[in-house]
Chain A
């Protein structure tokens, strides 16, 4: 047996992987359940918020971001920031179009 010093750092415990997996499945269950509850316009927000929690769990533990160098954190955060800019800018335009009316009509 070779010495088990792993190239990519010490292995994550099997227990932790199972806990994360259980949490991901539970959140999916909650999300499906909430789909049948009428929360009005909050429905989208809740559903996406749960998906964000799931993505965060997966990135931190499955993708091992938690024990990654700071530079990797910076890259991952940059993706989220640019994605928020992309979607906010697009939706801000559409949702505010009717506010001022169209001149001449």
Chain B
């Protein structure tokens, strides 16, 4: 009998095989996420092409400053997440916990800024619905822009909240010394998810905040 490490499930020959199966499964899940977000992106692309002028005017109401800061924050959180995985691989428990918590703090700051932006939109009457009081040409299609804005950033924020939950569990498990070089699959899988959510934002930010700013 080969030695049976405690984290190894019965159906696997060895830890590496189990790890590779988990990794592949996570990537397949991320493909379904690409298609999920892809549907919204496709819809946005079509309407942006149809009502380019209205979307450009409406897009100018978003805060470029807050959007840019949030992009930097999210990229930094990806860096700390990458270092969390590295710490686990190097058996550095203290650093692992530190990097997981840093990632959570950065994620929370991102959400905080996002909610500030939402609050501004509510105050300015830019939230689609009965209280939509947009001043400008073609308010109907501007409203469509803001519907996309809230749907896309809202779905993204929901993913961030789920990510924070996952990171919380990781931090707890790490504090109980569950992870090290020999076993850290959950850290690695959560990192894949976190980086993916970051990538989604890397597309949301230019498409919502940056296109046709100069006009």
A7–B16 CB distance below 8 A: yes
Q: Is B166 an interface residue (CB 8 A)?
A: no
* Contact indicator B28/A62 (Cβ below 8 Å): no
Contacts of A87 in B (CB 8 A): 38, 41-42, 45
Give A38 to B212 CA distance when docked, in angstroms: 8
Collect the chain B residues with CB atoms within 8 Å of residue A91's CB. 42, 45-46, 49
CA distance A17 to B188 in the complex (A): 15
Known: A17-B79, A47-B207, A83-B38. A76 touches B27 (CB 8 A): yes
Write out the residue numbers on chain B whose beta carbons fall within 8 Å of the beta carbon of A58. 78, 195, 198-199, 202
**B118 at interface (Cβ–Cβ under 8 A)?**
no
> Within the assembled complex, what's the spacing in Å between the Cα atoms of A61 and B85?
12
A7 and B206 in contact, given A58-B198, A75-B27 (Cβ under 8 angstroms): no
Q: Quick one: closest B residue to A21, CB to CB?
A: B79
A61 to B50, CA, bound (A): 37
Would you call B86 and A28 a contact (CB within 8 A)?
no
Binds A, one of B107-115, B154-162, B167-175, B178-186: B178-186
A36: contacting residue among B76, B86, B213, CB under 8 A: B213
Contact of A38 among B46, B76, B202, B214 (CB under 8 A): B214
Interface residue tally on B, bucketed by range: 35 or more
B24 in the interface (beta carbon within 8 A):
yes
Chain A residues lying within 8 Å of B43, measured Cβ to Cβ, are 90
Q: Which of B31, B49, B83, B206 interacts with A48 by CB under 8 Å?
A: B206
What sequence of 0s and 1s flags, for each residue 50-94 of chain A, a beta carbon within 8 Å of any chain B beta carbon?
A: 110011001101110000110110011011101100110011001
Interface residues of A (CB under 8 A from B): 1-8, 10-12, 14, 17-18, 21, 24-25, 28, 31-32, 34-38, 43-44, 47-48, 50-51, 54-55, 58-59, 61-63, 68-69, 71-72, 75-76, 78-80, 82-83, 86-87, 90-91, 94-95
Q: Which residues of B contact A (CB under 8 A)?
A: 15-16, 19-20, 23-24, 27-28, 30-31, 34-35, 38-39, 41-43, 45-46, 49-50, 64, 68, 71-72, 75-76, 78-79, 81-83, 85-86, 89-91, 180-185, 188, 191-192, 195-196, 198-199, 202-203, 205-207, 209-215
What are 12 of the A-B contact pairs (CB < 8 Å)? A8-B23, A28-B68, A28-B75, A47-B207, A48-B207, A54-B199, A58-B202, A71-B24, A72-B24, A80-B34, A90-B46, A91-B49
